[in-house]
Amino acid sequence: MLRILLVVLSSFFAALATGAPRPVLVLGDSLSAAYGLAPKEGWVALLDERLAAARPARDVVNASISGETSAGGLARLPALLKEHAPALVVVELGANDGLRGLPLAQLRSNLAAILEAVRRAGARAVLVGIELPVNYGPQYRDGLRELYRGLADEFNVPLVPFLLDGVALDPALMQDDGLHPRAAGEPRVLENVWKVLEPALRALPAR
């Protein structure tokens, strides 16, 4: 009995010393907050399920808020980094900045500050790009694409070029507002992220 107790205690303290893998933090807006859906139907919840089944398992913290802007995400980030100590931060912001027609220079500055804060915290980042409806004009839309590409190059972080690739133009996969995916579209959204996120996760330290 004593031997069994010693083995259990030894395993317990070994686990404490090793520690669980640090989580993935998703800093996003309504596209990551499962707007109009049950929370379990969103791509972040689907990612959480996938990583929970991985070996080793890794938690996902969804810090996404509907209506969030890059300025709001930047303001919330320090507390999130301190509380969760993530290994990797998925940065999915910019859609609301764009829909409000805010200057691209302002968006770029905020996203650059977010990526710098993630780097200073000893975490890695994946940047997620978005696209705006065609009525915003080619100059703004092209500038937005270049903004994400430029930041990914500057900070040497992986880039998901367009979160809703293969979803945004399919009415069967989009809600009636034309901006947010239906539940049927969320698995495709996850795959768009996963093909970039999975190699970034493999490159992380195990603990």
User: Hey, what are 48's tokens?
Assistant: 């959480």
Helix (H, G, I), strand (E, B) or coil at 106: helix
Tracing tokens 């399920």 back to the chain, one arrives at: 49
Strand partners, 24: 60, 88
User: Hey, what are 21's tokens?
Assistant: 């893998």
Radius of gyration over alpha carbons of the chain, in Å? 19
**Residues that are catalytic:** 30, 177, 180
Distance of CA 204 to the CA centre of its chain: 16
For residues 177 and 137, is the Cβ–Cβ distance under 8 A?
no
Burial profile 26-53: b = 16 or more Cβ within 10 angstroms, e = fewer: bbbbbbbbbbbbeeebbbbbbbbeebee
* Biggest alpha carbon–alpha carbon distance for the chain: 74
- Bridge-based pairing of strands 60-62 and 24-28 is parallel
Angle between helices 138-155 and 104-120 (to 10 degrees): 20
Distance of CA 185 to the CA centre of its chain: 17
